[in-house]
């Protein structure tokens, strides 16, 4: 009888050419996709050239994906120069999968953003763009020069973040060494109630195990509560695996996964792996979704968990809805459903996670269906409520240059759908960030203090076909 | 490579994340450009909240104003050092500022890996909570062979955890040199 294995162990074994691997072992694996972006790309390219030579070829031009997304809407000339470094590399190597911010020119100053999100090569935040553009498939190994590369584990693959040196090594060889992680299992029972989103689930997990509770480990999110989520919402769970120190996060592959991947990817063959019955977990924890309350992570750590209700005295100076965690189309629907017909009381900044999300915000109504005559689009609803909207990018999620949209340039309190609230993460190191679901952020934007969304949400919020294929 | 590292310690708290080690606004410098690379040294540790910068007192600059290098060669942290983003700019900034080793109770995975694979700073682990025993500015010595840290101010010797399976990569100076020596890279 072969030893029962987890999904992650099976994927690593298959890519190491082995039938079995044990947690704790170091294995050399073949990488399927390497992703980089404008912040880490130039450094990676520099190391690649230094180590392999100026004329060296990348190991496989069709397995390298470059998605500029971090510092796009800034007048910082070095950022524009960095995009040019990516463009030169893409041309030199004939890379097909490059998503150029074609509106960034050699002109000094703030670039003029795209006018129509459907008419640009630019995609926005890499972790959102990767599955949209068909680069994510079950059973594969994705490495990216960004810690939230773990997001793609929602599709049943092994995905993790690496540094520039590792990425440069993969660029030249297609290989890397990985230590096989043991798996922690988090089970959610029941249907998700209308006042919760996947963000509350992951804040519950991180609050339970701390920001280092999953260090060197796989986080497996399971149960009918997870199965009931859309892929977009499962991505919120796996996205924040890194906030618990996790090496990767995974969800089971089901019909929803297959439907999404088949609609997006032009690669026909990939493997679906699942945990064997009897697979070993080093930790298990279960939640009943009916008893979970809307949560926040207080400054200055994603594990500083509390209920939104307990924080109701906390005044906020602004609200932020965006990023790879909380800027997906379902997040926008959650926020818009709550804000519809109301006006925000504090400045509320909205940044779509990708140009596709932005296009869908214009195309769909708050039920996630194409707008009919007379319907307001998601974007209209948010603008009517007084939100400020910027083109897709990482924007203030990681602070960025001082002229970044929504950046916290002075000490203030912000409630945000993003994923990190360490000191200085969104700008000023004395600014306090509360992490919360798009529902809690929207409810707080309406009142000016942290607000439990149960005050506004009664009916289940349907997200329709948004983000399902 | 010398087998000891001797220098002043700069002491920090728990969960020092990469945004504190090198704030995001400086990531537009290209580490592949030797002139721009220096700025990572200048801004190393500039995101640490002032009360936490140089424990126990805090309020200590890691790199003097307007300079590219720090006088501190050894950084001492608590739990989960280097958490947050995968930016290799973090260990690079420390190395650029002149840091040779960091000692903490344990590391976030990607930071540790970047230290090892990029060959920037030696990431040592010590089960003792050194941040409560050593003060910023104290002289320390790390003996790589003996795997110890000596607090020269008191003479006390602390054992470091064995480096384990990544030792060959550290000894080689990083993943590229390791792979070349192992015959995995033909150039
Ligand atoms: S949106 Fe935020 S977390 Fe996501 S990739 Fe960009 S900076 Fe990182």
Do the beta carbons of residue A166 and residue A147 sit within 8 Å?
no
Query: Chain B window 99-158: which residues touch A at a Cβ cutoff of 8 Å?
Result: 106-110, 113-114, 117-118
Cα A306 to chain center, whole Å? 22
Query: Using CA atoms, how far apart are residues A55 and A48, in angstroms rounded to an integer?
Result: 10
393-452 of A, contacting B, C-beta below 8 A:
398-402, 420, 422-425, 429-430
Q: Average the pLDDT over A367-379 and give the result.
A: 97
DSSP H helices, A230-304, are 231-239, 255-264
Q: Which residues contact A147 (CB under 8 A, 6 or more apart)?
A: A161, A242, B84, B85, B86, B110
Please give the distance, rounded to the nearest whole angstrom, from the Cα atom of residue A239 to the centre of ligand 1. Answer: 10
A122-175: pLDDT as tens digits: 999 999 999 999 999 999 999 999 999 999 999 999 999 999 999 999 999 999
Average pLDDT over every residue of A73-79: 97
CB-CB neighbors (< 8 A) of A127 in chain B: none
Chain A residue with Cα closest to B49 = A429
Q: Which residue of A124, A240, A398 sits with most ligand 1 atoms within 8 Å of its CB, as the best mutation to test the pocket?
A: A398
pLDDT at A429 over 60: yes
CB atoms within 10 A of CB A115: 9
Does B1 have pLDDT greater than 60? no
> Are B49 and A212 inside 8 Å of each other by CB?
no
Of A40, A79, A420, nearest to B87 by CB-CB distance is A40
ipTM of model over 0.85: yes
Picking from B17, B48, B86, the nearest residue to A163 by CB comes out as B86
Contact between A211 and A241 (Cβ < 8 Å): no
Q: Tokens representing B32?
A: 């592949």
Which residue(s) pair with A34 in the sheet?
A64, A143
Domains and CATH numbers, chain A: 7-184+213-264 (3.30.499.10), 295-455 (3.30.499.10)
Specify the pLDDT at position A278.
96
- What is the pLDDT averaged over residues A89-112? 96
> Which residue from A150, A152, A324, A357 has its CB within 8 A of the most atoms of ligand 1, so it is best to mutate?
A324
Beta carbons of B114 and A85 less than 8 Å apart: no
Quick one: CA torsion of A343, A349, A354, A359, rounded to 10 degrees? 30
Q: Is B187's pLDDT higher than 70? A: no
Q: DSSP secondary-structure letter at A386?
A: T
Structure tokens belonging to residue B29: 């410098």
Position A458 confidence tier, pLDDT thresholds 50, 70, 90: confident
| Chain A residues whose beta carbon lies within 8 Å of the beta carbon of residue B79 | 212
Q: How many beta-carbon contacts under 8 Å exist across A and B?
A: 149
Full DSSP string of A59-71? S-GGGEEE---SS
Average pLDDT over residues B114-127: 97
Residues 6+ apart with CB under 8 A from B18: B82, B83, B84, B85, B86, B87, B89, B90, B111
Please state at what angle helix A41-52 crosses helix A164-173, rounded to 10 degrees: 50
Averaged confidence pLDDT in chain A: 97
Distance CA A415, CA A275 (A): 37
| Ligand 1, atom 4: closest residue by C-alpha | A324
Taking 90 as the threshold, does the pLDDT of residue A469 lie above it? Answer: no
Chain A interface, mutation test: which of B13, B18, B85, most A Cβ atoms within 10 Å? Answer: B85
Closest CA to A168 of B132, B31, B149: B31
Q: Give me the pLDDT at residue A2, please.
A: 86
Provide the 10 A C-beta neighbour count for residue B72.
25
Spell out the residues 6+ positions from residue A262 whose beta carbon is closer than 8 angstroms to its own: none
- Quick check: CB of A437 below 6 Å from ligand 1? no
For residue B30, the distance in angstroms to the closest alpha carbon of chain A comes to: 6
- Determine how many CB atoms are found less than 10 A away from the CB of residue A326: 30
Sequence-distant contacts of A18-21: CB under 8 A, at least 24 apart: A21/A180
pLDDT band, very low/low/confident/very high, at B143 (cuts 50, 70, 90): very high
Kindly identify which residue of chain B lies nearest to residue A55, measuring between CA atoms.
Answer: B187
Q: Is the pLDDT of residue B2 over 90?
A: no
Query: CA-to-CA distance for A182 and A247, rounded, in angstroms?
Result: 10
Distance CA B122, CA A334 (A): 46
Average pLDDT, integer, range A358-386: 97
pLDDT of B7? 98
Q: Which of B46, B27, B41 lies closest to B121, judged by CA?
A: B41
A441 SS3 class: helix
Distance CA A123, CA A127 (A): 10
Separation CA A432–CA B65 (nearest Å): 26
**Residue B176 in contact with partner chain A when CB distance is under 8 A:** yes
Q: Which domains are delineated in chain B?
A: 4-162 (3.20.19.10)
Pairing of strands A432-436, A413-416: parallel
CB atoms inside a 10 Å sphere around CB A283: 15
Mean per-residue pLDDT for B144-166? 95
Question: Can you tell me whether residue A142 is helix, strand or coil?
Answer: strand
**Does B30 contact A52 at a Cβ distance shorter than 8 Å?**
no
Which of A236, A225, A241 has the alpha carbon at shortest distance from A198?
A: A236
Is the pLDDT confidence value at B164 over 90?
Answer: no
Element (H, E) at B8: strand B4-11
Using a 6 Å cutoff on CB, does residue A146 contact ligand 1? yes
Sheet containing strand A183-189, strands side by side: A248-251, A218-222, A183-189, A283-288
């Amino acid at each position: 009888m072969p030893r029962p294995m987890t999904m992650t162990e099976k994927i690593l074994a298959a890519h190491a050419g082995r039938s079995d691997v044990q947690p704790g072992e170091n294995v050399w694996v073949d990488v399927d996709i390497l992703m980089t972006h404008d912040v880490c790309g130039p450094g990676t390219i520099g190391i690649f050239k230094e180590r392999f030579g100026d004329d060296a070829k990348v190991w496989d031009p069709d397995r390298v994906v470059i998605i500029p997304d971090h510092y796009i809407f800034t007048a910082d000339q070095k950022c524009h120069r960095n995009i040019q470094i990516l463009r030169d590399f893409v041309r030199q190597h004939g890379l097909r999968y490059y998503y150029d911010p074609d509106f960034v020119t050699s002109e000094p100053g703030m670039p003029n953003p795209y006018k129509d999100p459907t008419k640009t090569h630019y995609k926005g935040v890499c972790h959102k763009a990767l599955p949209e553009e068909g680069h994510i498939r079950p059973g594969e190994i994705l490495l990216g020069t960004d810690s939230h590369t773990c997001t793609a584990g929602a599709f049943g693959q092994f995905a993790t973040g690496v540094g520039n040196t590792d990425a440069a090594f993969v660029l030249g060889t297609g290989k890397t060494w990985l230590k096989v992680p043991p798996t922690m299992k988090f089970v959610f029972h029941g249907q998700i109630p209308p006042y919760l989103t996947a963000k509350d689930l992951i804040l519950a997990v991180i609050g339970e195990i701390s920001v280092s509770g999953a260090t060197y480990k796989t986080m497996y999110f399971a149960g009918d509560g997870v199965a009931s989520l859309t892929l977009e919402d499962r991505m919120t769970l796996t996205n924040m695996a890194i906030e618990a120190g996790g090496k990767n996060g995974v969800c089971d592959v089901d019909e929803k996964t297959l439907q999404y991947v088949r609609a997006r990817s032009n690669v026909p063959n990939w493997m679906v792996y699942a945990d064997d019955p009897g697979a070993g977990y080093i930790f298990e924890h279960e939640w009943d979704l009916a008893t979970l309350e809307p949560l926040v992570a207080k400054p200055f750590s994603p594990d500083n968990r509390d209920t939104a209700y307990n924080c109701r005295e906390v005044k906020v100076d602004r609200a932020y809805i965006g990023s790879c965690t909380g800027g997906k189309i379902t997040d926008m629907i959650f926020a818009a459903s709550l804000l519809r017909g109301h006006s925000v009381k504090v400045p509320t900044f909205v940044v779509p996670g990708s140009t596709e999300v932005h296009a869908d915000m214009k195309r769909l109504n708050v039920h996630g269906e194409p707008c009919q005559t007379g319907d307001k689009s998601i974007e209209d609803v948010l603008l009517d409520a007084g939100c400020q909207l910027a083109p897709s990018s990482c924007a203030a999620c990681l602070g960025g240059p001082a002229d970044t949209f929504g950046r916290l340039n002075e000490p203030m309190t912000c409630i945000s759908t993003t994923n990190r609230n360490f000191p200085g993460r969104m700008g000023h190191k004395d600014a306090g960030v509360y992490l919360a679901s798009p529902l809690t952020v929207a409810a707080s934007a309406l009142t000016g203090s942290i607000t439990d969304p149960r005050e506004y949400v009664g009916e289940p919020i349907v997200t329709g076909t948004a983000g399902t294929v | 490579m010398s087998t000891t590292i001797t220098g002043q310690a700069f002491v920090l708290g728990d969960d020092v994340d990469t945004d504190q080690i090198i704030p995001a606004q400086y990531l537009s410098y290209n580490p592949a450009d030797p002139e721009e690379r220096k700025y990572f040294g200048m801004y190393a540790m500039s995101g640490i909240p002032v009360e936490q910068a140089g424990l126990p007192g805090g309020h200590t600059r890691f790199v003097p104003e307007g300079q590219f290098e720090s006088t501190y060669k050894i950084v001492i942290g608590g739990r989960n050092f280097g958490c947050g983003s995968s930016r290799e700019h973090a260990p690079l900034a420390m190395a650029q500022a002149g840091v040779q080793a960091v000692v903490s109770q344990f590391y976030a995975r990607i930071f540790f890996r970047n230290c090892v694979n990029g060959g920037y700073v030696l990431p040592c682990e010590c089960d003792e909570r050194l941040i409560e025993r050593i003060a910023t500015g104290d002289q320390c010595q790390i003996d790589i062979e003996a795997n110890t840290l000596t607090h020269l101010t008191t003479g006390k010797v602390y054992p470091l955890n064995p480096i384990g399976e990544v030792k060959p990569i550290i000894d080689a100076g990083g993943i590229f040199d390791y792979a070349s020596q192992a015959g995995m890279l033909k150039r």
